[in-house]
A and B are shown apart, each in its own frame.
Chain A
């Protein structure tokens, strides 16, 4: 005779295998929905059907929830219609029957300026210095305080609180990544099973891969943030400078220096400065392409570290 928890777990396992091959985030959402429903339903049905054994009640609840195969299908078909914050999900792209819808939606070299993903990537890279510093400081402070206090009574509870905060921040960063980079991330925080004892839950927190990968992500965000921010600011400043060259030369009569060799300085003639502006526009477009590409790569990186199987 299986216990209620085993029956629920069996159902969740079935659902997971029925969703094999689906987007990781969809699987996580589907499992969270199912677990919330089954446990909530069990609580309230138990009160209504006192004469039935608990595991009989849960069987009825699971039956009304629907077969794992059927529910998995429902998630898969809705996932295709689900617009994420900015752009199409991988599932929607598959449904559209095009392997690389990105380049087709915004064709050409200059089409990148119309692509929300490029702008999302740009904003993400610019704010990543700030979030990177925040995550890194939080991670270093939390970890060193946890280790330092471990010999005292408050060490263990402090460490638990810190690791819980890492999970919360990982979820939040996931929302940011989906909004700005368009990579599908979990829409619901994964919760711990309240029916488990606190020792069991603690074990999950300490041995769970997602806790430590989330912490690693927080550390890596500082160097990444510095690189992203520096590269973007440099490129934007350079492009803006080049574009402004003809205005500076023709309107404000500022000579544009080309080469200086000791005392000898060559200036670019005013009528050639529009060429510099053209180069500036080219550089700005390249910058947008870099932002879009980096955003895509970072989205995958974030998914690998922040979404657990």
Chain B
């Protein structure tokens, strides 16, 4: 039983490593204002329509803490830019926004995602009998 759970976890992790980057880029491109990590985490953790707490935890494929290294990686590739703002209470916040090359990357990645999706859907749909 534990083994199967481990396998699920590993599969989930492998799948999410690319899709999280795409999701983060897309979220930041959709919102007009720059967002900080916690806000992004909340948005990614509660997709539209998932109202109750149970649905919320089930739909989370990525832990909130795991988006920060992805954000920094995207920033290092110049797809995101950031600025720090001081707050009255608590530590300063780092606000992220999409750069021009980030918008371009989002278009390209969306294309790749659609291709991948079609491919997987076709295989799962039994086109290979």
Contact = CB atoms under 8 A, between A and B. Distances in A.
B59 interface: no
A30 B37 CA distance: 13
Interface string B33-77: 000111001000100000000000000100111101110110011
B91 interface: yes
A70 B94 CA distance: 23
What size tier do the contact residues of chain A reach?
20 to 34
Interface residues of B, number: 26
A64 B64 contact: yes
Interface in A46-101: 64-67, 70-71, 74-75, 77-79, 81-84
B129 interface: no
B103 interface: no
A6 interface: no
A252 B72 CA distance: 56
Nearest to B87: A40
B10 to A, nearest CB: 11
Interface in A199-249: none
B90 interface: yes
Contacts of A65: 63-65
Contact of A43 (B17, B70, B72, B89): B89
Contact of A191 (B37, B68, B77, B91): B91
Interface of B: 17, 36-38, 41, 45, 60, 63-66, 68-70, 72-73, 76-77, 84, 87, 89-94
16 contacts: A32-B91, A33-B65, A34-B68, A37-B64, A39-B90, A41-B38, A43-B90, A64-B63, A66-B63, A66-B66, A70-B63, A71-B63, A71-B66, A74-B69, A82-B72, A84-B76
Query: Which 5 interchain pairs have the tightest Cβ spacing?
Result: A66-B63, A78-B69, A33-B68, A66-B65, A74-B66
